Amino acid sequence: MNSINSEVYVDISIIIKMMPIEMKEKISKSFINFIEKNKSNNYVSNINPKIPIREQNIRKETKEMLGIIYRDYLCSNEEHDELIKQEEQEIKQYEEELRQYEEELRQKYNPNDIFKNKQKEYNYEKEKVNVAMAEYKKETFIEKILKFFKSRFKKY
């Protein structure tokens, strides 16, 4: 269990304790036990029981968990079915967007086509490059001998 989940469970536990009794009774006892068993013992929540939930700064993960609790335990059957349909539509839309993005990446980085657009035909006559040739003076035999002796005597 990662630390973020255990911290979210602390927040959820506090929120469940803040709920009216009628709402608490709708939530499965096994779910509440799971939350209590897996919550962090070291985390200090920033949830204040005296302030309404809507006015508090709550983590995104905690909001998501509250949404799941609402969907699975607190809402009516009709609303539950409507929420499930919405989720399925959002999942389909997300999968379609992901598929389109992957297709774009496949086309953009296809190893067979990656160099096709990069190849350009150069007209070498238009782009003449002037290369200056540097002339190097050949050392004569005597210059080489003098250079050798100079390098030896510089060491001493």
pLDDT tens, position by position, 25-39: 999 999 999 999 998
Q: Is residue 26 part of a domain?
A: yes
Task: Count the Cβ atoms, other than its own, within 10 Å of residue 69.
Answer: 22
Task: Provide CB contacts within 8 A for 48, sequence distance 6+.
Answer: 56
Q: Is residue 74 part of a domain?
A: yes
Expressed as residue numbers, the domain containing 18 is: 3-108
* Whole-number average pLDDT of the chain: 82
| More confident call, 75 vs 156 | 75
Structural domain count, the chain:
1
Label residue 85 by pLDDT band (50, 70, 90): very high
| More confident call, 23 vs 124 | 23
| More confident call, 138 vs 77 | 77
Q: What is the dihedral of CA 78, 80, 82, 87, to 10 degrees?
A: -170
Can you tell me the distance from the alpha carbon of 45 to that of 14, in angstroms, rounded to the nearest whole number? 8
Label residue 139 by pLDDT band (50, 70, 90): confident
pLDDT, mean of residues 120-139:
60
- Whole-angstrom CA distances from 19 to 12, 122, 137, 142 are 11, 75, 96, 104
- Residue 132 above 70 pLDDT? no
Q: Is residue 139 part of a domain?
A: no
pLDDT, mean of residues 141-145:
81
